[in-house]
Each structure stands twice: as structure tokens, then as C-alpha cells.
Amino acid sequence: MKFNKKLSDIVDISKIEVVKNPIEKAHGLPNECYLNEDYLEFEREKIFKNNWTMIGVASSVPNEGDVKPFNLLGIPLLIIRNKNKEVKVFHNVCSHRGFKLIDKECKLKNVLRCPYHYWSYDFNGKLVTTPHIGGLGKHDVDGFDKTKSNLKEVNSYIWMDLIFVDINSNAQSFKEFIKPLENRWSKFIKKEDRQLIRHSTDYGYFNMEVNSNWKFAIENYCESYHLPTIHPELNKVSNISDHYHIEDKDLSFSGQGSNKYSQQFEGNIKFNCFPNWPSDLYKKAEYVSLYPNVMLGIHVDHFYAFWLEPITNNKTKEHFELYYIGKESASSDEYKDIRKKNFAFWQEVMNEDVIAIEGMQKGRSSPAYNGGNFSPVMDTPTLMFHKWVATNLTK
Ligand code: FES
Ligand SMILES: [Fe+2]
């Protein structure tokens, strides 16, 4: 189905175009982009369906038959682990009369059975049984070709345990999309090191619902400008002056890095490190917003993904997923206390940011605001994200 609505009915397009100016003359996205519910439909169509969007993590469906639903701005999807241990994503709708197949996370035995008339699909989405389709006791019927009614699979890719989908199959290949970030991080981690990450088996996940548009979380994450004001404690150990900007020239991510990361410890326990991370770079840590909806943090001894589920124009669910290097750090009793400590640390930091993003949401109701003005020094990674949104909206 083609999306035919006009953005110009909701937002003055000249206010979107001005975002693309050089920073001294640019303003940010206009208020409608944060306040207007109809506008959110444009983001669903132009941003979330046309780009690689994160919808969950593979380790949340560890065994075959594990399945969970996800709602991407009204689009029902399901994530399932098949018998070959692969994670697949399908549209969460029965091909018979359109019943939503999976309503809550569960474990399936052999098939995915629609609760309405019991049509069943295997874990690869193939329609396998159609009870009584030809009348009572007749499970096949002339003129109905089962192979044309399989579940509709969504293009997906698992990277560092994170599940990305490309709903419209319009995006570049995932490998192309992620290449600039992988290249950037190849100085820290080699490909084989990526296989070592393990989701923490305790203290590994939290979520929060915030009264903010999803974009404010990304914008805030791009900059270290707010460190002294919003995170005074963090700023004492990792000062604003120890940070640098990160800006991908292909416009797929931006953020900030620190030169002062100190490895976590609890007593004499320290987490295991990425084996190929060079020792002279141990104090580096990088925090990037991977557009549209993921905020990543990489350190020598842990990795996290803080990802966003947009709910409405002013409500967002934030999901935090924490990973360690190897099974021992991620799940052994010995490391439990340090996992707890690290988890509490990040939860505190992310909580502090809620003040920032909810504050921006409240301020955006002011008709006196013109999209704002950017510091040409401190705000360049943030403006990059605004430009990315503006470009997606107008292409
Ligand atoms: S709607 Fe699913 S079996 Fe009828
Ligand atoms: Fe912050």
C-alpha cells in the first residue's frame, strides 16, 4: 500500500529544509515533529519502515519455539527462534482471516497455531495445516494453494545480539549499513570478539516509559554537553573535557567518546575484557546513536544497547540491554556483585537523562520556540541526527 499523505499538510516544509543548513544557520526540527500525532505516521512510514530499526534482542528468545510479539507503531510483528536456532521475524497476522497470532511471549512446541480456526504454521512461517478448510473432516480443498498463504517474513538481521528489521525492504543491506560503525570499532574489537558477548543473565535488562518523544532520547545521547549539569557525579570521573565528538560521514550514527573510562571493579574482581582491545585504548569508551532508535555504549569490559520503542508522539518505552564478554562475566556467581553495581550505575545515568528529555518535551509546547539554535562546537553530533531525520522525511 502506498502512503499518500502529505507532510506539508502538517508541517511547514521550509522549517524542515532549514534543518539541513550549515550549523550556524540551521534550526532544529520544528515543534510539530514532537507534538503532532499525525506527523508520527510519517515517521513510521519514512523512518521506521524504510531503515534498519531495532525491535529486540536474540537472547530474549534463546530456545527453539520461543516467540514474542512486538508492536512497531501499530505494526504487529513476532520474533521467533526456529528449529535451526535462527531468529526470524514475521508479520504477526494469520493469513486466513487476519487474527493476530501471538499476543504474549510464550514457548511453542511444534507449530504456531492461530487461536481462531487453528490454522498452523511451522517456525519458518510455512502454512502446514488448515483444519476443516474443505468442510468438516476435510483439511484440504481444491483451489486453495497453501504455499501462497505462508506468514509474511520481515527482512531481519542479528548484529551483536540486536535484532534489526527493514520492514519495507527499502534499506541498503545490513552489512552496508553497519560497515561504517564496524570499521570505526575495528580498532577495539575484532569480528571474532563480537561472538563473545553475552547478555547478562541477571541485572541485564530494565525498561522505562518516559513522557518524551523518542527523538529527544537520541538527541540527548549524541552530546556530552550536558554531562556537568545532568550527570554531575559521572562528570567527576569522566569529565566533559575528556570527551570527543563522533560523526559518521555517511550519516548513519553520531555521538561522543570518552578518553577516561575506568574499568569497573568490585573488591578485586574485574570483568573480562575484549581479547583484542589494545591495552593503550583501555580508557576509551564510545557512545553512539545508531539511527533511528538505538543508543550503544562500548567499553573494554562491557557493551550495552539502549533502544527505543516509540509509543505516541510524547511517550516512549526505553529498553536497556547489558552485555559482558564471555559467560563467566555474564552469568557466574562470582561476578554477581559487580554486575549488580554496573547495572545500578547505568540505570542511574539513564534515569538522570529522563529529566533532560522530558524537559525538552514540555518546552516544545511553546509557540515561541523556533526549533532552536545549536552550538557550532558542542552540538554538531546532535544536529547530524536532525539532518538525518529531515533528509528521510523529504526524500
Ligand atoms: S484467522 Fe487464523 S485460522 Fe482463521
Ligand atoms: Fe546523558
39-85 residue pLDDT tens: 999 999 999 999 999 999 999 999 999 999 999 999 999 999 999 99
Which residues have any ligand 1 atom within 6 Å of their CB?
94, 96-97, 99, 114, 116-117, 119
Cα 38 to Cα 53: distance, rounded to the nearest angstrom:
20
Sequence-distant (≥ 6) Cβ neighbours of residue 257 within 8 angstroms: 243, 244, 245, 246, 284, 285, 286, 287
pLDDT for position 234: 86
CATH of residue 70's domain is 2.102.10.10
Cα 158 to Cα 382: distance, rounded to the nearest angstrom:
27
Residues 273 and 368 in one domain: yes
5 domain-assigned: no
Residues 387 and 343 in one domain: yes
Ligand with minimal distance to 118 CA: 1
pLDDT for position 2: 67
pLDDT for position 346: 96
The SS3 call for residue 387 is helix
166 domain-assigned: no
pLDDT for position 1: 59
The three cell numbers locating residue 112: 504456531
Nearest Cα neighbor of 180 from 246, 224, 243, 245 is 246
pLDDT for position 237: 81
Residues 141 and 192 in one domain: no
Evaluate whether 161 touches 59 at the Cβ level (below 8 Å): yes
162 domain-assigned: no
45 domain-assigned: no
Tell which of 93, 127, 157 closes a domain: 157
Q: Which domain holds residue 260?
A: 171-394
Distance 69 CA to ligand 1 centre (A): 17
Test site for ligand 1: of 117, 149, 151, most ligand atoms within 8 A of the Cβ: 117
Residues of the chain with pLDDT under 50: none
Ligand 1 atom 4, closest CA: 117
Evaluate whether 42 touches 7 at the Cβ level (below 8 Å): yes
Residue 125 vs residues 236, 253, 322: alpha-carbon distances, Å: 52, 33, 30
381 domain-assigned: yes
